[in-house]
Amino acid sequence: EGLKAGLLHEVLTKEAYADATVLAHTLKALPLRLVAARPVAEAISTAGGVTLESLDERLMLKTRPGVFLAGEMLDWEAPTGGYLLTASMASGVVAGEGAAAFLASGA
């Protein structure tokens, strides 16, 4: 966690790190070389995330209008075996449609 954030400090100035647009572009362009797979215990989602009470019916944060969440960003638990993929895709559709409606409303 700290190491991952530290990578950004290697390529950004303090001012650039505070600029959301520059930070987003840097994150998207940051090359990460895969050396080996991590253990399955680290690869499987367990629990945690943003509570459903913090979101509206479109999966938008109540405290941050225009910010939509989906998939593993949500706080829910399920057994492994495809459930997470299905829920991630389904919640992605809800959040995506919510974001489109939000933008169309001009809010």
pLDDT of residue 13: 86
φ/ψ (deg, to 5) at 47:
-160, 170
List the chain residues with pLDDT less than 70: 1-5, 43-47, 79-81
Phi, psi for residue 19 in degrees, rounded to 5: -90, 110
pLDDT value for 18: 87
Query: What residues contact 61, with CB distance under 8 A and at least 6 apart?
Result: 50, 54, 55, 67, 68, 69
Tell me the per-residue pLDDT of 18-34, one tens digit each, with 9 for 90 and over: 889 998 888 888 777 78
Q: Which residue do the tokens 């409303």 mark?
A: 105
Domain boundaries, the chain: 1-33, 40-105
Long-range contacts of 14-17 (CB under 8 A, 24+ apart): none
- Model-wide pTM > 0.75: no
